[in-house]
Structure 1
Amino acid sequence: MGHSQAEKAASRERVLRIASRKVRTDGIGRLGIADLMKEAGLTHGGFYKHFTSRDDLVTQAAAAALTEGSAKMERAARKNDRDARAGLIDAYLGKQHRDTPATGCALVPLGAAAGRDGTAGDLHIKDAYERQVRAYLDLIAGLDDDATDARAEAMLTLSALVGAVLMSRAVADEELSDELLETVNDQLKRRGGTPPPAA
């Protein structure tokens, strides 16, 4: 790859990285090209060297944001040698995840956008969202020793994780926000046979 092609690829990657953070914090509707390019240190006119349209950027940014979560979830599961499922739950329902949506799991902020027809302006967010849901279900089910109910438990676990983080970010009362994370964490671990921590 020539120097100019390498620079172009690096610039495109930088724009995509910033955009994927913005769709997680602001949603897909509020992603402005001018501000995005300025933050990336590029001119507004240079946008079309990297993407065919705003819809193209949004689709790719949403897909990148969704995909990034898999590696984080796998790392979280590996942190707890004794109980990978508990490690994943702790990381997902931690205050750090709640408080840093720009780098958090994109299933939480992109659910509403994907839940609408998912193809507004030729966006295919629903497809990317579904791929990520399936990847998480496989990951969580693979952590369950009881293969009989592993998929059902994975669906329940993932739904509870995403819902708890969504609500904990949405409520104004910080105590309620903390309680949502802690209670769902405790209940999911009880379902998985992990004893709650000693008081």
Structure 2
Amino acid sequence: MGHSQAEKAATRERVLRITSRKIRAEGVTRPGIAELMNEAGLTHGGFYKHFRSRDDLINQAAAFALAEGTAKMERSARKNEQDPRAGLIEAYLAKQHRDAPATGCALVSLGAAAGRGDQRFKEAYEKQVRTYLDLIAGLDDNAEDARAEAMLTLSALVGAVLMARAVDDQRFSNELLETVTAQLSRHASRDTSPAT
């Protein structure tokens, strides 16, 4: 790849990174092209060198945001070598994750938009859901129920963060995160306990 091609690819990635953070923090309808390009240090006119339309940018930024979460989930699972599932649950339901939507899991912030989005958006969202389910199921020793447990876990994680961000009462928000963490951990320990 020549220098100008590499520079173009780096510029495109910078715009995608900025847009992915904006749409996670503010939603997909708010950021305009001029604002995004300005934040990337580019002119509005340069936009069409990288993207066909605003919808093209939003779809690509959504896919970028969704895929970015895989490495974070894998790191979270590795934090607790004794119990990777507990490490993932604790990291996902941390107050720091709740308080950082721009860099947090895009399944939470983009779920409603994906539901109303076009096919490309839905496909990117579904791909990430499936990736996370595989990752979580791979942490379960009980292969028979691993997929069902992964669906339950992921649904509880995403739902708890979504609600914790949406409520006004900070204590209630904390309670949601703490309670779901405790219940998922309790549920997981029951599943891994030897039969009596």
Displacement after TM superposition at 1:113 (Å): 1.1
Tell me how far apart the structure 1 counterparts of residues 150 and 3 of structure 2 sit (CA, whole Å): 46
SS of 2:102's equivalent in the other structure is: helix
* Residue type at the aligned position of 2:128: Q
1:135-150 mapped onto 2 (5 Å cutoff): 135-150=131-146
* Residue type at the aligned position of 2:88: L
Instruction: List runs of 5+ in structure 2 lacking aligned partners.
Output: 191-196
* Residue type at the aligned position of 2:169: D
Residue 188 of structure 1: which of 173, 184, 188 is its match?
Answer: 184
Tell me how far apart the structure 1 counterparts of residues 4 and 141 of structure 2 sit (CA, whole Å): 51
Q: Please give the per-residue CA displacement for 1:163-198, whole angstroms capped at 9, x wherever unaligned.
A: 00000000010000000000000000000007xxxx
Tell me how far apart the structure 2 counterparts of residues 115 and 175 of structure 1 sit (CA, whole Å): 30
Displacement after TM superposition at 1:5 (Å): 1.9
Tell me how far apart the structure 2 counterparts of residues 131 and 151 of structure 1 sit (CA, whole Å): 15
How many pairs align? 190
SS of 1:28's equivalent in the other structure is: coil
Displacement after TM superposition at 1:2 (Å): 2.3
Q: Please give the per-residue CA displacement for 1:85-114, whole angstroms capped at 9, x wherever unaligned.
A: 000001000011001111110000111011
Instruction: List runs of 5+ in structure 1 lacking aligned partners.
Output: 195-199
* Residue type at the aligned position of 1:62: A
* Residue type at the aligned position of 1:85: R
Displacement after TM superposition at 1:31 (Å): 2.2
* Residue type at the aligned position of 1:73: M
TM-score normalized by the length of structure 2: 0.94
Displacement after TM superposition at 1:75 (Å): 0.5
Q: Which residue is equivalent to 1:34? A: 34
Give every structure 1 segment of 4 or more consecutive aligned residues whose post-TM-superposition deviation is greater than 4 Å.
none
Q: Which residue is equivalent to 2:160? A: 164
Displacement after TM superposition at 1:45 (Å): 0.3
Q: Which residue is equivalent to 1:15? A: 15
* Residue type at the aligned position of 2:160: A
Residue 173 of structure 1: which of 147, 169, 172 is its match?
Answer: 169
Root-mean-square deviation (Å): 1.0
Tell me how far apart the structure 1 counterparts of residues 100 and 61 of structure 2 sit (CA, whole Å): 17
The more displaced of 36-45 and 185-194 is 185-194
* Seq. identity, %: 76
Displacement after TM superposition at 1:7 (Å): 1.8
The more displaced of 64-73 and 23-32 is 23-32
Tell me how far apart the structure 1 counterparts of residues 141 and 187 of structure 2 sit (CA, whole Å): 13
TM-score normalized by the length of structure 1: 0.93
Tell me how far apart the structure 1 counterparts of residues 166 and 120 of structure 2 sit (CA, whole Å): 26
